[in-house]
Each structure stands twice: as C-alpha cells, then as structure tokens.
Amino acid sequence: MNIQSRTRFTPLHLCLLGACVALLAASALAQAPAADPDLARAQQMLSQEQAKVAEMEQDLLALDSEIDADVNQLVDLLKKSEDSTASKTKVMNTKKETIAALDKWVKEYTRERGKRMGDLQQTHSPTAQAELQHQVEAIDDGINRRVDQMVELAASMSTSEELKRYDTYQQDWGVSKVETEDYRVNKRQISYANQAQEELGKKLEQTIKALENDIALVPQRFPRDQQEAELARLNSLLDARNADLRKLSTAYPEKATAVGKNDADRLEKQLHYTQEDIRAKWAQLLAKANTLSVERLRVRQLEARVQAMEAEAAPAPAAPAAQ
C-alpha cells in the first residue's frame, strides 16, 4: 500500500456518514407536526440528541484524520531515509521502534474489535448490529493499514551494496588486508535488517494461524445469522496478511536518502514526539468513541419512544361499513 498524504474517506468516515444518513432520515420523521404536546417534546428531544451525535461524529472524524496524517507522515519520512556509515544503524533502530509501536497499535485495535464482536453477539437490535458491524469494518481497515505500514518499513530496511571489502597496506613482512569500515557497517546493517524482517515474518505467520483458527471456530462462536458476515471479515483479513507475508519475503527497498548521524538523531526524536502526540490523540479517540456509543444508544431509545407515541396518537382505523 502506498502511503500518501491526501484527503480520503476511510471506513470510519463511511460508517459515520452512513450513521448520519440514518439520523437525518429519523430527524425528518421526528420533526413532523404533532398535536400531542408530549409527543412534540419527545420529538424535540430526539432532534437535539441527533444533532449532538452528528457533532460528536464530526469531532471523531477530525481526530481520526489527524492521527492518520501523523502516522503517514512519519512512515513516509522513515521509508525515504536509510543509514549511512556515519549513522550506522540509528535509522534502522528508529524504524524498528516504529514497527513495535505500530504492532502495539494493532493489538489495541484487536482488543477493541473483540469488544465490538462481543456486543454484536449479545444485541438483538438491527440498528445496533449495523452500527457495530460498521465499527468492526473500520477497525479491520485500521489493522490492515498499520500492518501494511509495518511491512513497508521492514522492507525499507533491506540494504546491500557492492562495497570494497578490504584496504591493503604494505608492511615490512608483506601486504596486509583490513576490512573497510564501510563494509563492516553495511554488513551489520544487512544483518539487522534481516533480523527485523524475520521477526515481523514470524508475527505475520502467528497472525495467519490465529485467523485460520478463528475462521474454523465461527460456527461455534456466532449465531447463524452473523456467521456469513464474520467469515467474510476474517477471510479478508487472512488474505491481507498472506499478501503482507509475500511482500515481506520479496522485500526490495525503494530509493532512499542516506542520512548522517545528526539527521538520524533528529529522526529518532521526531519518532518519540510523534508517539507521544498519537498516544494522547488515541486516548481521546477511544474516550470519544465510548461516549458516542452511549449517545447513539440514547438516540435509539428516544426513536423507539417517539415511534410508540406516534402509533398511540395515530387515528384509529375507520370501522367497516355496515352491510
């Protein structure tokens, strides 16, 4: 996946837009004229709650976009940078730290997905099920993006050059050969890159096995009406992880700029600043998402209340004409 800094709609955007459409449709119903004062008040409360949910969704979208932009910018910068003899393996260390941070993020995504799947299995509300399914799809997309970035960073660590191996010196007893500093550094860089790629490859293999196990257990874990959707989601993730593993096994780095020690130090500092910023924004996003879930539940309850009151206020059907 090519990471580019551009405006785009993510599945989080799409699921929130879908929710907005549903809220607008319900709002139109809620604003219908009502003769019953209690019904009018209930409709007004529903309209206010819908507006509140829409505003919260926009805040969540903005925060999600900020996080994505921060991550994409850092990954792009690291992909375009590589170590020099002066920086040794400092850039590789920064890439490895970033991969570890993205891996933790994937684990957080996976925990959140588990919560949504637990809620999905317990609820019988079609509206709640649709919302939870959209959230799971958005989380799955987030997992795919972060794992793709991990693979791209690991692939960018591949380095191999045709370097002069020995310097020769004339000594009293003859010619002496000593390995050049450039060759020794490059040898360490290659070893470091191979190690990082092997570690990520093992994680991907473990993930693939776990997904295959989850797929096999779907009939036992999910009601019949939810099995097809969950199988589709899990198979999609499985295909993505297999593709990542193939990409990693044939990793070939893009053109990058060798940086000196000072630039490598700046990259390391930028990583830590970005991590702190993303960590704070991620905590905000989770808090806002939890609050939004509560407000959406309140909207559904108010919608049910208004519908019941509208049914009670509706005129009784006319009696059939006497024969």
Q: pLDDT band for 7, please (50, 70, 90 cuts).
A: very low
Contact yes or no for 241/147 (Cβ under 8 A): yes
The predicted-structure confidence for 78-127, as pLDDT tens digits, reads as follows 888 888 888 888 888 889 989 998 998 898 888 888 888 888 888 777 87
Assigned domain for 43 exists: yes
Residue 320 lies in a domain: no
CA dist 321 and 323 (Å) reads 6
First to last CA, the chain: 74
User: For residue 252, what are the CA distances in angstroms to 155, 248, 264?
Assistant: 6, 9, 22
The token duo for 239 is 């295909």
What string of DSSP letters covers 219-245? Answer: HHHS-HHHHHHHHHHHHHHHHHHHHHH
Q: Contact, 295 vs 32, CB < 8 A? A: no
What tokens does 188 get? 């360490």
This prediction has a pTM of 0.71
d(CA 55, CA 173): 83
Q: What's the mean pLDDT in 267-283? A: 86
Closest CA to 20 of 284, 226, 294, 292: 292
Say what the pLDDT of residue 108 is.
Answer: 86
Chain-wide mean pLDDT for the chain?
80
Q: Residue 321 carries which DSSP code?
A: P
Supply the pLDDT for residue 242.
Answer: 95
- Residues 123-135 have a mean pLDDT of 82
* E strand or H helix that includes residue 183: helix 181-221
Residue 190 banded pLDDT, cuts 50, 70, 90: confident
Using CA atoms, how far residue 27 sits from 23, 46, 273, in Å, is 6, 8, 43
C-alpha span between 144 and 3 (Å, rounded) = 12
Residue 29 resides in a domain:
yes
81-83 and 166-171: which strand pairing? unpaired
**Residues 300, 128: Cα–Cα separation, whole Å:** 8
Domain assignment present for 6:
no
Is it the case that residue 25 has pLDDT exceeding 50?
A: no
The residue count for the chain: 323
Q: What's the CA gap between 245 and 211, in Å, rounded? A: 14
pLDDT digits (tens, 9 = 90+) for 39-57: 889 889 989 998 998 899 8
What gap in Å lies between CA 51 and CA 32, rounded to an integer? 16
| Residue 210 maps to a domain | yes
Q: What is the pLDDT of residue 9?
A: 41
pLDDT in the model for residue 127: 79
Q: Give the residue ranges of DSSP H helices in 123-180.
A: 126-155
Domain tally, the chain: 1
Tokens of 173: 């007893």
How far is Cα 64 from Cα 10, in angstroms, rounded to an integer? Answer: 9
Check whether 169 has a pLDDT greater than 80.
Answer: no
- C-alpha 178/C-alpha 167 separation (Å) is 5
Signed CA dihedral, 148, 151, 157, 159: sign only: negative
- Residue 264 structural domain: 11-313
Q: Has residue 3 been placed in a domain?
A: no
13-22, 110-119, 243-252, range with the lowest pLDDT = 13-22
| 280 falls within a domain | yes
Bridge partners for 125 per DSSP: none
Residue 286 lies in a domain: yes
In this prediction, residue 257 has a pLDDT band, given cuts at 50, 70 and 90, of confident
**Per-residue model confidence (pLDDT) at position 195:** 87
Kindly give the pairing relationship between strand 257-259 and strand 81-83.
Answer: parallel
Give the pLDDT score at 115. Answer: 86
